[in-house]
Structure 1
């Protein structure tokens, strides 16, 4: 073979090899670039997940309260027998729900009546989470006051200090807390601007519709009281802005878990209910479907159990989340804006009697869920009734229970006002 041919073949082979190596080099380099980009992207995403919020709240350091039962004392056995008789009559009249009664830090009565899921014959139990409806406001209000107490916000600042495009500049956080804002209820005006009544919306969408359409105020801010769900939906958004956390994440991390409320959560219709949560039923056992307002939280949306609610109740006696000064702020002052003893604090309904005694409570009603959370704070006497089948008589249970437990009538029995 001619030398030239050998050299040529050799050159061609070397060139082919070099080209092959070059191709391989570029392929490897390209793949490594993709890998580096992917790693960098994942690193950024991980960083975003871990540094999404720079909020550094003051965590609860007190251990969760152990539940203490006192059902064996002779006087309590008699009370239990009378309560069982009372609730047997309530069940015959249609009551379906959970009941817990605490007295001076001890649980003296706890019962579950009926179904969590009637179609599957799943009974209610101590861990069956029920929709609290407007009792959720006690959590949203306390969360705002916690942030106020630790100087992350100021309740006397306008909402626009936290939500820049909020369309009503003269409304403060305090006016939202005590329902003196004049805002119209979103459950009534959103349908005017949103034709889809079935798909749940969330707080951001509600606020977008409010900013765009500016529904008329019902009255000039801070001139009178009118109970309004919009107030607490806006407060939930303020919590998110201040903490840079989702409302559900903040509540879980700073309230539910530290207090040992392991069966309490914020409902998200996109995720649905966990298996141990109670289904909402109409009076005739027809399920209540989700609708547009079910994604909005802060005014409602928290699910809990009676035992978790008792932990929540007792946390105020132990100053676990809020200090005494902030709790006094929440419970008053009582302005007696209407004739009688009824009033509203910052997140709580109140019955304020001339002798200085107070009943701190909140009721709830959303779809088929009726709830009553009734606290006679002078005696550390708590009544929790969580119903998941519509039954308005739940709001009248407190008076009968007071008669049974204390042997005297309780002044200011709730009348079903939600």
Structure 2
């Protein structure tokens, strides 16, 4: 029999032994494998701490149509992550004494017709400038073959001047036009083209040999590109497979017309963006004081932080419980990317997805896992699965599948809003890709009917169901559903208006 002192010594030894818990790498791996299993991720991920790789892996396909896999060295569009290259260029010019953040833009671009807008307003998306297409859409319609570039910008803005949407510094709204103007400033003050400046002063000093200028018009209008992760989209919530974004005529046409630079022009790799991250930590590109200033949210005129918490080119996470985190996201039609830097703990997450729009959400969860915080296991959308079964196998099979999925709450989730969106997707009224109209009222009505059965106290579910019934010519049934919606929400004024029209009053 073990004596008391020996037993206590045994317990102390046992306490010091490592527990059989998951490592951070295993937690991160399990999280991403669940995303992939749920068809919620296709891309590359890199997690770094103190210049050491904690986790790196590729998932899914660079081209879903050919089954070409994503690989660690695949080139992908970084979209708006390009903006931090532009911001870095501006801050370099500031360090050289060539510009001041607080000075008006027209000090550097004399013809710029908004004297109240400063360089700082552009960097922090608080300028109040309208989107660039507001100045050029009319000309685009009249000259559909014309391609607008940076040299057209100032003349077009002067010719078609629009009012600011708010006074600079009064509010904030993220818009590409701000960085288009910054790119023009870079060219004017440096005497170099935007691309040449970025290459010489950012890419080369950081050793970024896999990053290159590849403007969006070329990305979306070249049918075949080597070593490239094509952006993809699911055209409908009920689709089982995505299509390449550059196969959609509307997308190709839009980016053929707008060839502006400064905000979404580069392709890169996971490891090259890590080199950029390292160059920032080593102060190869900017002084530490400049970076510290860039990582502070810009104040509005009322003294409050701007709504998106933008500093000078970087967005600052509002939650600093695990350290000060700065980031920038990139998104375009069929891709999302993110670089998230915990500058307190010297941790970085770099992620891209060429089929979904949740890179920042996943980067945030990765940072939480890296810091031993709990993250819920990803679940699969019942609405999307239901829609696919309804489309391919019919209503009876869809109801049976729905019942099975609802029982497995560990792996599936049900959302009223997603079911509602699915119903509208079937109606064909919401067509963001400007595709030929397709009105699947039978499937829409079945979906909305299912949604009211699932959420019988939702006035909005009944209102949507009524709308689909009315579109299908079922006025009497629509009337009943509108009545039920109004009973649940007496403030449903639009429902009351439609109900009066149906009733002939």
Question: Once the 2 structures are TM-superposed, how far is the Cα of residue 340 of structure 1 from its aligned partner?
Answer: 10
Match of 1:332 in 2: 296
Map 1:9-408 → 2, pairs under 5 A: 78-94=23-39, 95-187=41-133, 189-195=135-141, 200-268=147-215, 269=217, 275-283=226-234, 284-288=242-246, 289-290=251-252, 291-292=254-255, 295-333=259-297, 335=299, 343-353=309-319, 357-389=323-355, 391-408=356-373
Cα–Cα, structure 1 residues 338 and 120, in superposed 2: closer, same or farther, change >3 Å? Answer: farther
Question: Once the 2 structures are TM-superposed, how far is the Cα of residue 77 of structure 1 from its aligned partner?
Answer: 8.4
Between stretches 158-167 and 347-356, larger displacement belongs to 347-356
Cα–Cα, structure 1 residues 393 and 156, in superposed 2: closer, same or farther, change >3 Å? Answer: closer
Three-state SS of the structure 2 residue aligned to 1:116 is strand
Cα–Cα, structure 1 residues 110 and 354, in superposed 2: closer, same or farther, change >3 Å? Answer: closer
Contact 1:402 1:409 in 2 (8 A): no
Write the distance in 1 (CA, Å) between the matches of 2:135 and 2:20. 52
Question: Once the 2 structures are TM-superposed, how far is the Cα of residue 199 of structure 1 from its aligned partner?
Answer: 5.9
Write the distance in 2 (CA, Å) between the matches of 1:320 and 1:227. 28
Contact 2:310 2:316 in 1 (8 A): yes
Cα–Cα, structure 1 residues 105 and 76, in superposed 2: closer, same or farther, change >3 Å? Answer: farther
Question: Once the 2 structures are TM-superposed, how far is the Cα of residue 326 of structure 1 from its aligned partner?
Answer: 0.9
Question: Once the 2 structures are TM-superposed, how far is the Cα of residue 227 of structure 1 from its aligned partner?
Answer: 1.6
Between stretches 211-220 and 74-83, larger displacement belongs to 74-83
Contact 1:265 1:302 in 2 (8 A): yes
Contact 1:399 1:409 in 2 (8 A): no
Question: Once the 2 structures are TM-superposed, how far is the Cα of residue 338 of structure 1 from its aligned partner?
Answer: 6.3
Contact 2:299 2:306 in 1 (8 A): no
Write the distance in 2 (CA, Å) between the matches of 1:160 and 1:77. 57
Contact 2:337 2:351 in 1 (8 A): yes
Write the distance in 2 (CA, Å) between the matches of 1:259 and 1:327. 16
Question: Once the 2 structures are TM-superposed, how far is the Cα of residue 174 of structure 1 from its aligned partner?
Answer: 1.2
Contact 2:172 2:307 in 1 (8 A): no
CA RMSD of aligned residues (A): 2.8
Write the distance in 1 (CA, Å) between the matches of 2:278 and 2:22. 23
Cα–Cα, structure 1 residues 261 and 193, in superposed 2: closer, same or farther, change >3 Å? Answer: same
Cα–Cα, structure 1 residues 96 and 209, in superposed 2: closer, same or farther, change >3 Å? Answer: same
Cα–Cα, structure 1 residues 227 and 76, in superposed 2: closer, same or farther, change >3 Å? Answer: farther
Contact 2:316 2:325 in 1 (8 A): yes
Question: Once the 2 structures are TM-superposed, how far is the Cα of residue 352 of structure 1 from its aligned partner?
Answer: 4.1
Three-state SS of the structure 1 residue aligned to 2:267 is strand
| TM-score w.r.t. length of structure 2 | 0.61
Cα–Cα, structure 1 residues 160 and 338, in superposed 2: closer, same or farther, change >3 Å? Answer: closer
Contact 2:334 2:357 in 1 (8 A): no
Unpaired segments ≥5 residues, structure 2: 1-18, 235-241, 376-505
Contact 2:298 2:312 in 1 (8 A): no
Contact 1:341 1:351 in 2 (8 A): no
Between stretches 318-327 and 214-223, larger displacement belongs to 214-223
Write the distance in 1 (CA, Å) between the matches of 2:373 and 2:113. 50
**Residue-by-residue CA offset, 1:245-300 (whole Å, 9 max, x unaligned):** 11111111111122111111121345958522221211322333432465222121
Question: Once the 2 structures are TM-superposed, how far is the Cα of residue 206 of structure 1 from its aligned partner?
Answer: 3.1
Cα–Cα, structure 1 residues 400 and 172, in superposed 2: closer, same or farther, change >3 Å? Answer: closer
Match of 1:55 in 2: none
Three-state SS of the structure 2 residue aligned to 1:401 is helix
Q: How many residues align?
A: 336
Between stretches 133-142 and 199-208, larger displacement belongs to 199-208
Three-state SS of the structure 2 residue aligned to 1:145 is helix
Cα–Cα, structure 1 residues 386 and 216, in superposed 2: closer, same or farther, change >3 Å? Answer: same
Question: Once the 2 structures are TM-superposed, how far is the Cα of residue 108 of structure 1 from its aligned partner?
Answer: 1.2
Write the distance in 2 (CA, Å) between the matches of 1:357 and 1:92. 31
Cα–Cα, structure 1 residues 265 and 180, in superposed 2: closer, same or farther, change >3 Å? Answer: same
Higher relative contact order (CA 8 A, sep 6+): 1
